[in-house]
Each structure stands twice: as C-alpha cells, then as structure tokens.
Chain A
Amino acid sequence: AQSVTQLDSQVPVFEEAPVELRCNYSSSVSVYLFWYVQYPNQGLQLLLKYLSGSTLVESINGFEAEFNKSQTSFHLRKPSVHISDTAEYFCAVSDPLNSGGSNYKLTFGKGTLLTVNP
C-alpha cells in the first residue's frame, strides 16, 4: 500500500509571497498523484493531478506541482498567494483496491493548513 507524507502541518505566509507545500509518497511502479483543497466545512476539491506526461502540472488558479520520481515528491507551489488561498491542502496518491488494479482508492496525507495573512 502507498503512503503519503506532508511534511508541514501548517504554513503561514503573507499575501503575495511565494509558497511551497511539500509532499512525499512511497515509491511504486506506477503512481498517480493529486492535490486537493478543502475550505472550512466543505468537501475536497480537486486542484490538480499528475497521471503521465509532463512532470509539471498546473491548476487554473495559479498553483503548480512537479512530479519528481527520483525524489518521490509532488510539491505544490504558487509564486504569489492571495488571502483566498487560505485553506487546507491534501496530497493524495492512487492505490489499487484489488490485485487486478482495475479500481483505485486514494491514500491521503494528513494535510497542510495554508494561512495567508494580509
């Protein structure tokens, strides 16, 4: 089974500063990686995903993440954050539910609370 480690439980930053949220996963032959964002008392929203191809993936609101196979990392970055980016961010890896690998579950990290201060 896969595992995901989010190295920082809380990251406080000032508005317009850059931010990096770190994520490491256990190695596997094939890996599919995701970042989700959760605003208070809401469900999780898919922010971006890596399935294959380019190792740099981007979201529509300025976040990007880079898949690094050698370092088993999938860190999330944004060059300039806004107050509205304050939320909890979860890194996740897909994990086969059965030996046939036709169905998958998501294994999540414990989350990183990003707080953007004015």
Chain B
Amino acid sequence: SQTIHQWPATLVQPVGSPLSLECTVEGTSNPNLYWYRQAAGRGLQLLFYSVGIGQISSEVPQNLSASRPQDRQFILSSKKLLLSDSGFYLCAWSVGALYEQYFGPGTRLTVT
C-alpha cells in the first residue's frame, strides 16, 4: 500500500532563516506531487505541483520554492523565511487516472 511521509512534524524558525521541508511517497511510481499551505480559516492553498522529476509548477508567487530530485521525493524550500510563511504545510500525491489526492501528516511551521 502507499504511504506518504513528511518531516519534520513541527518547526520553529526565526525570520530570515532558511527552510527545507521534505515529503516522500512509498508504494507507487511516478506520482503527481503537491504542496499545500493551510492557514487558519482560509482552507488549503496549492503552492506547487510536480508531474515528474525536475518538473515544478508554481501556483502563486511567493517566498518559497520546490524541487523534485527523485521520483518520490518533493522538497519545499526558502532562502529567507517571512512571518507570513507560518502555517501548516501539507504534501499530497495522486497517480494515474485518480482524481483524488492523498495527504501526508503535515508540518506545522512557526516563524518567529
């Protein structure tokens, strides 16, 4: 069966520091991968998606970037965090003809 991992689970970082969040998927090949951010009362916002290694698309301009160095690995990064980057970050995958997406456990990021 497929599983999705995210780490770290929680992170507290000062403004201006770098960021690296990692997501890995097991049990499937060539998944579509997604990064979402969830802010209180605002639902989920799609940040990036990837349909293959090295293929990254951004949905909104922001202080973040994403990379996909391996088929089942998706990384969210920032060179300098802003206070507004605080939130709950969720990674998700889908594959093939599936329209639904499956989510990881999330990373709670607090920028101080």
Binding site for B on A (CB under 8 A): 9, 32, 34, 36, 41-46, 49, 51, 90, 94, 97, 103-111
Please tell me which stretch of B12-20, B39-47, B62-70, B73-81 contacts chain A, meaning at least 4 of its Cβ atoms lie within 8 angstroms of it: B39-47
Q: Assess the B32–A43 pair: CB atoms within 8 A.
A: no
Choose from A45, A94, A109, A111 the contact partner of B99 (Cβ within 8 Å).
A94
Give complex CA distance A51, B54 in Å: 30
Q: Assess the A43–B99 pair: CB atoms within 8 A.
A: no
Q: Assess the A43–B41 pair: CB atoms within 8 A.
A: no
- Per-residue A-contact encoding for B90-112, CB less than 8 Å = 1, 0 else: 10101000011111111010000
Q: Assess the A45–B103 pair: CB atoms within 8 A.
A: yes
- Given A41-B106, A110-B42, is A104 in contact with B57 using a C-beta cutoff of 8 Å? no
- Given A34-B100, A94-B99, A97-B49, is A108 in contact with B44 using a C-beta cutoff of 8 Å? yes
Q: Assess the B46–A90 pair: CB atoms within 8 A.
A: no
Q: Does B51 contact A (CB under 8 A)?
A: yes
CB within 8 Å: A-B pair count: 53
Q: Assess the B51–A106 pair: CB atoms within 8 A.
A: no
Main SS at interface, chain A = strand
Q: Which residues of B contact A110 (CB under 8 A)?
A: 41-43
Known: A106-B44, A106-B92. 8 other contacts (CB 8 A): A43-B106, A44-B44, A90-B43, A97-B49, A97-B57, A103-B49, A105-B46, A108-B44
Q: Assess the B105–A46 pair: CB atoms within 8 A.
A: no
Q: Assess the A44–B103 pair: CB atoms within 8 A.
A: yes
Q: Assess the A104–B94 pair: CB atoms within 8 A.
A: yes
Q: Which residues of A contact B99 (CB under 8 A)?
A: 32, 49, 51, 94, 104
CB distance from B23 to the nearest CB of A (A): 11
Q: Which of A9, A34, A90, A106 has the most CB of B within 10 A?
A: A106
